[in-house]
């Protein structure tokens, strides 16, 4: 025959079971609360990283555009020196095996950029030859839109020798954008 438990023993066992269940529920709720805090903190940090990335990419893009412009100005100076020595756009393009359109765009930049125009004035010299012209310290920092209102006729002839029209709204980056 099976042993019959007293009512008090049964109540004690039920209370113990309820206490264990309540402790497990409290532990689960506590763990859930801690995990939710960890999630919310991670989400805040993720948004902060997104903001940092946007700022950092904007800075890198700005630096890259400045470097591109500096290289465009250097190229424009070189082509302006060739043009000043009497070479035609067609001859310059053939010499470099580049499209005439590219040569024209660089010559247009040369006409619009004060540091390039000043460096290629009368009697321009090839790199490393004879006299050197010393430019201002701002030459490498010159931006294409500084010289927009300046005279653009110097070095601006199309392949027929006629003056090329000038687009006042074009920036150096737009004129010499990638892939041209």
Looking at residue 114, what is its pLDDT? 82
Q: pLDDT tens per residue, the chain (180 residues)?
A: 577 889 999 999 999 999 999 999 999 999 999 999 999 999 999 999 999 999 999 999 999 999 999 999 999 999 999 999 999 999 999 999 999 999 999 999 999 988 766 666 544 445 544 444 444 434 434 434 433 333 434 444 444 444 444 443 344 444 455 444
Cβ–Cβ < 8 Å for 86, 106: no
* CA diameter of the chain: 124
Q: Among candidates 73, 69, 100, which has minimal Cα distance to 164? A: 100
Burial class (CB in 10 A: 0-12, 13-18, 19+), 125: middle
Q: Would the pTM count as exceeding 0.75?
A: no
Looking at residue 4, what is its pLDDT? 80
Looking at residue 132, what is its pLDDT? 41
Q: Given the structure tokens 């090329």, which residue do they identify?
A: 164
Spans of all domains in the chain:
10-123+140-163
Q: Where are the alpha helices (DSSP H) in the chain?
A: 7-84, 89-96, 100-112, 114-119, 172-175
82 contacts: CB under 8 Å, gap ≥ 6: 92, 95
């Amino acid at each position: 025959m099976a042993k019959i438990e007293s009512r008090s023993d049964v109540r004690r066992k039920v209370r113990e079971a309820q206490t264990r269940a309540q402790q497990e529920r409290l532990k689960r709720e506590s763990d859930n609360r801690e995990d939710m805090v960890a999630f919310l903190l991670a989400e805040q940090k993720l948004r902060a990283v997104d903001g940092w990335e946007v700022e950092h990419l904007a800075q890198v893009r700005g630096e890259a555009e400045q470097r591109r412009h500096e290289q465009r100005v250097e190229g424009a100076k070189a082509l302006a020196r060739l043009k000043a020595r009497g070479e035609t756009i067609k001859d310059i393009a053939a010499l470099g095996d580049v499209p005439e359109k590219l040569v024209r765009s660089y010559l247009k930049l040369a006409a619009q950029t004060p540091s390039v125009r000043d460096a290629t004035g009368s009697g321009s010299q090839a790199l490393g030859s004879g006299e050197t012209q010393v430019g201002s310290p701002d030459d490498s920092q010159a931006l294409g839109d500084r010289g927009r209102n300046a005279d653009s006729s110097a070095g601006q002839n199309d392949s027929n020798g006629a003056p090329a029209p000038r687009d006042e709204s074009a920036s150096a980056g737009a004129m010499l954008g990638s892939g041209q």
